[in-house]
């Protein structure tokens, strides 16, 4: 059963990343190449900087493609960053009976949302690297929270911001 798959949102984010970056650079070029600077050049500079700031915003919130599937009493998670360059694919599998608790943290004006999953091991409780839920819609986030809350062992330790 597929729990979360945000492939379409990530494709849109990648496209926006590429378009905003190149349009922003394209709007900055006339300002630095032109010999006579006019008010149109300043307007292009401001608009170009706005596009580049939106690219910086996407870099800061770090949206990720997340594919979570429940398969044979385990949770399989595959993820990679939405940025078009320097991507590293990660995949791991968690037995549902070992899922201890989870934490969700929001930062950067509640736009950067991260999930940390804690599992029970032979040596105690350990965590997996945080996953970015920034590219998930609110419905997908609530569906994921509901699913993880349902399968976690220690529900009192779950951190879910409102």
Q: How far apart are CA 117 and CA 130, in angstroms?
A: 7
Q: Examine residue 162 and state whether it is found in any structural domain, yes or no.
A: no
Per-residue model confidence (pLDDT) at position 31: 86
Burial 108-144 (b: 16+ CB within 10 A, else e): eeeebbbbebbbbeeeeeeeeebbbbbbbeeebbeeb
What is the pLDDT tens value at each position of the chain, 162 positions in all? Answer: 899 999 999 999 999 999 999 999 999 998 888 888 899 999 999 999 999 999 999 999 999 999 999 999 999 999 999 887 878 889 999 999 999 999 999 999 999 999 999 999 999 999 999 999 999 999 999 999 999 999 999 989 989 887
Summary count for the chain: helices (H), strands (E): 3, 8
Helices within the chain (DSSP H only):
7-33, 39-61, 138-151
CATH number of the domain that 129 lies in? 2.30.29
Per-residue model confidence (pLDDT) at position 68: 95
Domain endpoint, select from 27, 45, 60: 60
Domain count, the chain: 2
Burial of 80 (0-12, 13-18, 19+ CB in 10 A): middle
Same domain for 46 and 82, yes or no, is: no
Per-residue model confidence (pLDDT) at position 161: 85
Same domain for 80 and 132, yes or no, is: yes
Same domain for 78 and 144, yes or no, is: yes
Contacts of 162 (CB under 8 A, 6+ apart): none
What is the residue range of 99's domain?
2-6+63-157
Torsion from C-alpha of 47, 49, 52, 53, nearest 10 degrees? -110
């Amino acid at each position: 059963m597929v729990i979360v798959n945000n492939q379409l949102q990530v494709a849109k984010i990648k496209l926006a990343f590429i378009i905003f970056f190149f349009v922003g650079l394209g709007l900055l070029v006339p300002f630095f190449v032109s010999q006579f600077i006019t008010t149109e050049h300043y307007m292009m500079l401001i608009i170009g900087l706005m596009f580049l700031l939106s690219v910086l915003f996407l870099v800061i919130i770090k949206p990720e493609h997340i594919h979570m599937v429940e398969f044979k009493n385990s949770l399989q998670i595959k993820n990679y960053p939405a940025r078009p360059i320097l991507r590293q694919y990660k995949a791991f599998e968690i037995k549902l009976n070992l899922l201890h608790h989870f934490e969700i943290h929001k930062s950067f004006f509640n736009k950067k949302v991260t999930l940390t999953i804690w599992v029970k091991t032979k040596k105690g409780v350990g965590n997996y690297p945080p996953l970015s839920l920034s590219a998930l819609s609110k419905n997908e986030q609530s569906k994921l929270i509901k699913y993880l809350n349902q399968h976690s062992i220690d529900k009192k330790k779950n951190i879910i911001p409102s």
